[in-house]
Amino acid sequence: VRHPFGNFQRSYEAHFCQGREIRYGAGARPVWQANGSANLDQLRKLTQSHLLYLTKEGCLDLPPKTRVFQDVPVCSRKQLQHNQALQELARVHERSKKGG
């Protein structure tokens, strides 16, 4: 694409991806981590002329989604475990509604 951001990856990551060096454990080597996000409005303005936005609806001629529900047989022991888990979940929910 030949965008200027491509020439300065570390600077880009520091500014737009919250890039920083971190250390895991005592005496560990530094590791570059850039998995965050920052300054997104600025990034959007700087890259909008280089991006092409497509939606599935705009470029594909697909039929509407259909959902099919199928009953799956479950052994009685697993069904009992499932029912007990649901009852416990209901009890926890009721206790949380009462504040305790």
For 57-95, the pLDDT digits (tens) are: 888 888 888 999 999 999 999 999 999 999 999 999 998
**pTM, entire model:** 0.46
Percent of the chain residues topping a pLDDT of 70:
94
Q: What is the mean pLDDT of the chain?
A: 88
In sequence order, the 6+-apart residues with CB closer than 8 A to the CB of 2 are: none
pLDDT at position 52, please? 86
Residue 100 has pLDDT above 80, yes or no: no
Residue 4 has pLDDT above 80, yes or no: no
What is the C-alpha separation between 22 and 33, in angstroms, rounded? 7
pLDDT at position 16, please? 94
Q: Where are the domains of the chain?
A: 1-38
Which stretches of the chain are assigned E, i.e. beta strand? 20-23, 30-33
Backbone angles phi, psi at 23, to 5 degrees: -125, 135
